[in-house]
Structure 1
Amino acid sequence: MRIAFLAAPQGVEQIELTEPWKAVSEAGGSPVLVSTEPGRIQAFDHLDRADTFAVDEVVGDTSAGAFDGLVLPGGLANPDALRMDRRAVAFVRAFCDLGLPVASICHAAWMLVEADVVSGRVLTSWPSLKTDIRNAGGTWVDEQVRVCDHAPSTLVTSRRPADLPAFCPAFLEAFSHQSV
């Protein structure tokens, strides 16, 4: 199980990257950090700088078909920067077009909105994104985790770091049904 983690050069919420990464690793999978630039990304603990992480692949040089699933960690700045990068948006959309599962936590649902993949789907996110999701044709719910198996791909969404204990097993289950 090869899983892409998409993060901008700055602004990813560290725990929303590291806990799902750890879950994939412990399940025997191979997490791969994909960003819009080579080098290292800067993670944050809310608004404070945290650790940096080495980028494995650049979004313009890889493809969704090389993975079994995609994790979109949040943080306010991370998805806001990514949704302004057409290659990152196309990367997310490609997972859905190929029927590959996508997991999104917190503000990362902005990427699902920008990729135009929420219409007709039920998902959760950080509460401030509820209007964005509704305006994009989705239904927003206030739940720890929501798995939406609406074709063509499964979306696994969660609200916040406190929901990670429910989010990680849910996306691992969805990802386990894929193979490259």
Structure 2
Amino acid sequence: MTLDGKKIAILATHGFEQSELEVPRDRLKRAGAVVDVVSPASGEIRGWDKKDWGRPVGVDKTLDQASPSDYDAVVLPGGQINPDLLRVEQKALKFIKDIFDAGKTVAAICHAPWLLIETGIARGRKVTSYKSIKTDVANAGAKWQDSEVVVDQGVITSRNPGDLEAFSAKIIEEVREGRHNRRSAA
């Protein structure tokens, strides 16, 4: 499955779960996509690797430099810290919502469905997440499912880092499909 000519943003900040950024990034690049790490600030962001701070990752573009129209998808890594910091960043929420509104793929793993809640994308959709935010997802009007990966009209969600291969494969599949016609979720 090739993604030649496709461009994908990974939106993250400090505290992203290391594997949840690196595994999809590397799989998408191997599939031929151009992948940019987009963040509120320039330089490097530091990951969280299981129980302690992980490796830094270079930021390719800041939110001020990145345009949603340039991307075919956005990937949202989890961890507890990363999505919690991003969900109070209005530019980050607008970036995600603009990609969604254009019918492009939005993929969130672990705690990143918090960002789908903040943008209103979760409401009325089938969603999975890390089990500790199941109630948050359900209270936001989503239909929570205990599944490895859930896809609802181009919105991909996955439970945890153990599901990264299936999550990455589903991103590749959905980006290859192209734009998604989305009916009102709620």
TM-score normalized with structure 2 length = 0.91
Q: Verify: 1:93 aligned to 2:97, yes or no.
A: yes
1:31 matches 2:32: no
Distance 1:89 1:32 in 2: 17
Q: Does 2:145 correspond to 1:141? A: yes
For these two proteins, the number of residue pairs brought into alignment is: 174
Which consecutive residues of structure 2, in runs of 5 or more, have no partner in the other structure? 1-5, 180-186
Counterpart among 97, 104, 111 of residue 107 in structure 1: 111
C-alpha separation in 2, matches of 1:125 and 1:171: 16
For residues 14-163 of structure 1, the aligned pairs below 5 Å read 14-149=18-153, 154-163=154-163
The alpha carbon displacement at 1:126 in A equals 0.4
The answer for unaligned runs of 5 or more in structure 1 is none
Code of the residue aligned with 1:4 in structure 2: it is A
Matched, 1:6 2:11: yes
Q: Alignment RMSD, CA only?
A: 1.1
Contact 2:113–2:122 (CA<8 Å) still a contact in 1? no
Distance 1:47 1:98 in 2: 37
Q: CA deviation at 1:145?
A: 0.3
Which secondary structure does the structure 1 equivalent of 2:54 belong to?
A: strand
Identity of aligned pairs, percent? 40
Where 1:20 maps in the other structure, the secondary structure is: helix
Q: Counterparts of 1:60 and 1:131 in 2: how far apart (Å)?
A: 33
* CA apart distance, 1:128: 1.4
Query: Residues of 2 paired with 1:176 and 1:18: CA distance?
Result: 21
